[in-house]
Amino acid sequence: MYDKILVAVDGSEHSDAALRHALELARLSGGQVTAVTVTEPSSMAVPALDLVAVDTASLFEDLEKAKAETAAQILDHTRKAAGNVAIGAIHLASRQIADGILEAAEAAGASLIVMGSHGRRGLSRLLLGSQAAEVLARSKLPVLVVKA
């Protein structure tokens, strides 16, 4: 039924729980798993910029390099956790998280998206936002949200 499973990973305990579910589904169904980690665009707000000269190019290069290194570590952890289940790994840089997950799902031809959620409610959810809620609202595919 779910032959191509996309799982969103970010190195958190929530995404580790989602990964475990995605891998088990793949084992049971004989499906393939692709893990995606998405890093958001770097931005900087500097008040009174006209009073200070800032080399933003090198700052952004350093930020993007650090994000790429972190993404590589997350995907290495994901590959190790997969054990004997074949898993593809994708890092999408400079994307909004939900946009990147949906883009990766489409590119992979996924039949299911699996992602973790912190399960917060009320004001804390509004303040922190919810990538899972946005993916659920916008996805044309089934989405399995794993609360950890």
Superfamily per CATH, domain 4-147:
HUPs (3.40.50.620)
70 sits in the region (left: phi over 0; alpha: psi -120 to 50; else beta) called alpha
Give the pLDDT confidence score for residue 142 in this predicted structure.
Answer: 98
Please give the single-letter amino acid code of residue 59: L
Please give the single-letter amino acid code of residue 1: M
Structure tokens at 27: 């084992």
Per-residue pLDDT of the chain (148 residues; tens, 9 = 90+): 899 999 999 999 999 999 999 999 999 999 999 999 999 988 766 665 555 666 677 888 889 999 999 999 999 999 999 998 989 999 999 999 999 999 999 999 999 999 998 766 555 454 444 899 899 999 999 999 998 7
Sign of CA dihedral 91, 97, 101, 107: negative
Give the pLDDT confidence score for residue 59 in this predicted structure.
Answer: 81
pTM score: 0.87
Give the pLDDT confidence score for residue 42 in this predicted structure.
Answer: 82
CA 119 from centre of chain: 16
Q: What is the DSSP letter of 37?
A: E
What are the strands of the beta sheet with 87-92, ordered from one edge? 87-92, 32-38, 4-8, 112-117, 143-147
Which pLDDT tens digit goes with each residue over 121-142? 555 454 444 899 899 999 999 9
Q: Where are the domains of the chain?
A: 4-147
